[in-house]
């Protein structure tokens, strides 16, 4: 893999069916996991000491959250490149936290902003 492809990547990486299905299965796995552990992740994110006091296994959950983030970054890196992944992890979340009333709203808004950014960039690149 060249440095150029690592930084900017290639959207056609997903053109083969096996790679597309692998990406979809991993993305769905991350989404389902976040949905199942939403309350624990929320508690851990805002106050890990209280989470530990309430019986949540903080070390295991932090490792699990790091693994989910790694899977997300690797999938996104293959599609949009590491340069854009770092921006897509920070900017939509920061923007969503400015306008959202609760954490769930912030997650939805940041997802919409990130998807709109990627799709808008693809449309502008092809036309």
What pTM was estimated for this model as a whole? 0.72
The pLDDT of residue 14: 56
The pLDDT of residue 4: 61
Give pLDDT tens digits for 39-58: 998 888 888 898 889 888 99
Taking the C-alpha atoms of 121, 21, 75 and 125 in order, what is their torsion angle to the nearest 10 degrees?
-10
User: What angle do helix axes 58-80 and 38-46 make, rounded to 10 degrees?
Assistant: 100
Phi, psi angle pair for 27, to nearest 5° = -65, -45
* Cβ neighbours for 83, distance < 8 A, ≥ 6 positions apart: 7, 8
Give pLDDT tens digits for 7-38: 556 655 556 666 777 778 888 998 899 899 99
Report the C-alpha gap between 79 and 88 in whole angstroms. Answer: 12
């Amino acid at each position: 893999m060249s440095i150029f492809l690592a930084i900017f990547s290639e959207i056609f990486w997903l053109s083969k069916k096996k790679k597309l299905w692998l990406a979809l299965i991993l993305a769905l796995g991350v989404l389902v996991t976040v949905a199942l552990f939403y309350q624990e992740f929320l508690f851990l994110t805002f106050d890990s000491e209280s989470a530990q006091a309430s019986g949540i296994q903080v070390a295991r959950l932090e490792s699990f959250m790091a693994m989910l983030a790694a899977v997300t970054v690797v999938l996104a890196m293959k599609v949009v490149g590491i340069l854009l992944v770092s921006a897509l992890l920070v900017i939509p979340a920061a923007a969503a936290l400015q306008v959202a009333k609760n954490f769930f709203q912030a997650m939805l808004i940041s997802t919409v902003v990130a998807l709109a950014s990627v799709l808008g960039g693809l449309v502008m690149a092809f036309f």
